[in-house]
């Protein structure tokens, strides 16, 4: 098992890529802390435990610093250490620049960018004291290439790449690896409401000719969370089927 006895906190783990990651990590031997703002995260934890794994659900609002701090405290109380943090939580509120509301811009920044900051700042002292840890931030292909109607989302994901580079410099000497994953177009709940003609266009733009799956992204998280990536640091791993601008 690639994550035997590791403790992994995964935000946004009630569904989609986060849920897939939690299940995969558990199969690889990790004790999984499922953090989400929705209570259906309890169902993910129950499914993992029914399969013989060990999981803890913690209701977390990543925009609330105290909520993040409590999640870390509960994790340490239950498992004594934290080996992996996956900053997977994120939302979209798409609109063209001229129609985007200030409220939607601020909300996406608060969840995606500030939420990643809040959770990492809560976990970092634990990992520093341990002298080791893996932090995986979730960026996006749109941070690299842009995307129509996603001013707010692209800005947050580009900011996450910037924070990843800074934290890699700050935390590397403490024994903590910090990397980012930049998924391409991926079939999740976020894309379920996208018109088929738009999905077809996404597939056409992707050299592999298909959308990504949650497992595709979870496999990248697994590599960066495992000992196999111990010399990968400050990197942005594109998992996008070869997408080009």
**Residues annotated as part of the active site:** 153
Which neighbouring-strand residues pair with 36?
A: 59
Q: What angle do CA 101, 116, 173 make, to 5 degrees?
A: 145
3-state secondary structure at position 68: helix
> How far is residue 204 CA from its own chain's centroid?
26
- φ/ψ (deg, to 5) at 202: -60, -45
Residue 188 neighbours by CB distance under 10 Å: 19
Buried b / exposed e along 138-168 (16+ C-beta atoms within 10 A): bbbbbbbeeeeebbbbbbbbbbbbebbeebb
Buried b / exposed e along 100-110 (16+ C-beta atoms within 10 A): beeebbeebbb
Cα separations in angstroms, 16 against 20, 84, 89, 90, 176: 6, 19, 10, 11, 27
Q: Which two tokens stand for residue 216?
A: 């595709």
- φ/ψ (deg, to 5) at 156: -65, -40
């Amino acid at each position: 098992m690639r994550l035997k006895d590791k403790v992994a906190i995964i935000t946004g783990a009630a569904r989609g890529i986060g849920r897939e990651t939690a299940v995969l990590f558990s199969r690889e031997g990790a004790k999984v802390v499922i953090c989400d703002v929705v209570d259906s995260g309890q169902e993910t934890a129950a499914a993992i435990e029914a399969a013989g794994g060990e999981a803890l659900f913690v209701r977390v609002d990543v925009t609330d610093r105290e909520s993040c701090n409590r999640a870390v405290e509960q994790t340490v109380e239950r498992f004594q250490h934290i080996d992996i943090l996956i900053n997977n939580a994120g939302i979209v509120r798409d609109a063209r620049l001229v129609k985007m509301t200030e409220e939607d811009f601020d909300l996406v920044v608060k969840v995606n960018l500030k939420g990643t900051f809040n959770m990492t700042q809560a976990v970092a002292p634990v990992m520093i004291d341990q002298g080791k840890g893996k932090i995986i931030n979730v960026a996006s292909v749109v941070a690299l290439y842009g995307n129509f109607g996603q001013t707010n989302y692209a800005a947050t994901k580009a900011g996450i790449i910037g924070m990843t580079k800074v934290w890699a410099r700050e935390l590397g000497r403490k024994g903590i690896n910090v990397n980012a994953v930049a998924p391409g177009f991926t079939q999740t709940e976020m894309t379920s409401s996208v018109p088929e003609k738009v999905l077809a266009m996404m597939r056409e733009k992707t050299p592999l000719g298909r959308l990504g799956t949650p497992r595709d992204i979870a496999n990248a998280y697994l590599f960066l969370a495992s000992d196999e990536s111990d010399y990968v640091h400050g990197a942005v791993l594109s998992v996008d089927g070869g997408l080009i601008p």
